[in-house]
Amino acid sequence: MRIGVIAIQGNVQEHVNAMKRALDMAGQEAEVIMIKHKGLVPTIDALILPGGESTTLGKLMEKEDISGEIKKVAHSGIPIMGTCAGLVLLAKNGDDQVKKTGQSLLSLMDITVNRNAFGRQKESFECRVDFKGLDSPFNAVFIRAPSITGLGECVEVLSEYKGVIIAARQKNMLALAFHPELTDDPRIHHYFLKMIRK
């Protein structure tokens, strides 16, 4: 099994480490690779789109021609987890900021995002949140986090913070507004691992 992390920008190594902890937890083995160029996405069994800066990430993924490859594997059912900026990129619809900047989204999940939902004063914070499928709260780290402001019928809400949607799943796609890779708790990466049909 091979798990890829888009490694163009953002929290890459943290995701690689978190995935290795989750593999240990599951007693499974897999290769975790960093993807910087075209050609690797079609070879993987699961993909992580990390946090970072969604405009930059989106532009560079298009330039490298990785975006098209991601869309293809997403439609074939490969699990994809987007965290923070990764959530923004998975969305079909963006807020005014996204529209104004003409930011290109992968449009893979039927969700609408508010790109910087938690404002400037609160750029970073941590909070324990309930997460559907986990038996106790998860310590979520928010860094200039987006939120999900709208969703289609096929999207399931997995977590909310003060009434705001911060995690959702649509079939093989998982979107998180926070950064599970920045904690020692591997349970969300483990949850993602269970989405791989192998």
Which residues are the active-site residues? 84, 179, 181
**Amino acid (one-letter) located at 61:** M
> 44-73 burial, b if ≥16 CB within 10 A, otherwise e?
bbbbbbbbbebbebbbbbeebebbebbeeb
Cβ distance to ligand GLN smaller for residue 28 or 112: 112
Cβ distance to ligand GLN smaller for residue 6 or 85: 85
Answer yes or no: are the C-beta atoms of 109 and 175 closer than 8 Å. Answer: yes
Distance CA(81)–CA(196), nearest Å, equals 11
State the nearest-atom distance from the C-beta of 53 to ligand GLN, in Å. Answer: 4
Distance CA(120)–CA(125), nearest Å, equals 11
State the nearest-atom distance from the C-beta of 12 to ligand GLN, in Å. Answer: 12
Q: Which residues bind ligand GLN (CB under 6 A)?
A: 51-54, 84-85, 88, 115-116, 143-144, 146
State the nearest-atom distance from the C-beta of 26 to ligand GLN, in Å. Answer: 26
Cβ distance to ligand GLN smaller for residue 45 or 53: 53
